[in-house]
Structure 1
Amino acid sequence: MSSSVADRLQRKAKRPAGTKQVRLKLVYIDFWSVVKLSFLISVALGIVTVVATFFVWLILNQTGIFNDLDSLLQDILGDANFSIQDTFSLSQIMLFSIVVAILNVVVGTVLGAIVAVLYNLSVKVTGGLLVGFTNN
């Protein structure tokens, strides 16, 4: 009745693995971790904003929409000196986009910090958030 290690491993592998579930309460969120994460997410969204603005302006310029709008406004207003392409040049649009992205980084980081503080304060009243985990 000697059994080898391979036989024991084979019998062990045939047993169904039971699913273990764990329920944990989230009772604290680290303030600085949330600030760092919200800062990184805000920076990524700011970069996406600047790049998307550049591509939208480039597409509008290449399709000739600015020229069509210029001719339409000149027909309506009769002002030959006004040009949308001069008013909304690439440099002005990109500067505005960068300013908006910087403001979004600041606001996003501050909102992340506020959410962390509010959650940590609300845990004192609610007891925390119950989260379930499984090993599947």
Structure 2
Amino acid sequence: MSTVADKLAKKSTRKSGGKQVRLRLVYVDFWSAVKLAFLGAIAFAVVTMVSFFLVYMVLQATGVISQVDEILGSFTDGAFSLSETVGLPQVMAFAAVVSILNLIVFTVLGAVVAGIYNLAVKVTGGLLVGFTSN
């Protein structure tokens, strides 16, 4: 029984100077994929928190929030104040909620992708990876 990966391995006829090793990835450990996805999600959550903080500070320093507050005040006759509604604690709380949701979603997606790959390996034969030493 010949698979696509075996045919690709036989196709390479060129000789190289170094030693070549071809390995086939036929299984991804589920918990390792979940842990790696979780660590990546934590890094993305930190980036999200820092970027929300920096964007808010830039908008605050340039006066964009106060200008939008004046425009909204003219439309609502002073009934709504953006600067009271959107402060640094509110922005950071929103960033924390977004970060936690992203953490959950990315961790679950990592688990789903590992499961789908492990199922797809049964049909495709796995991913063929070649290594050479020079």
TM-score between both structures, scaled by the size of structure 2: 0.83
For residue 18 of structure 1, report the CA deviation from its aligned partner: 2.8
Per-residue deviation, 1:78? 4.6
Residues in 1 aligned to 2:73 and 2:110: alpha-carbon distance in whole angstroms: 47
Secondary structure of the 2:79 match is coil
Which residue in the other structure is 1:109 paired with? 107
In structure 2, the CA distance between the partners of 1:78 and 1:114, relative to structure 1 (3 Å rule), is closer
Q: Runs (4+) of structure 1 moved beyond 3 Å?
A: none
Which whole-Å deviations, capped at 9, do the CAs of 1:72-108 have from their partners, x for residues lacking one? Answer: 2223x15123221111111111111101101111111
2:44 counterpart SS class = helix
Partner of 1:26: 25
Structure number, greater radius of gyration: 1
1:1-136 correspondence to structure 2 within 5 Å: 18-75=17-74, 77-136=75-134
Taking the aligned partners of 1:74 and 1:100, their CA distance within structure 2 comes to 28
Using structure 1 for the length normalisation, give the TM-score: 0.82
Encode CA deviations 1:13-70: one digit per residue, 9 max, x unaligned: xxxx931222111101111110100000001100110111011101101111011111
Residue identity in the other structure for 2:113: V
Give the residue type in structure 2 aligned to 1:32: W
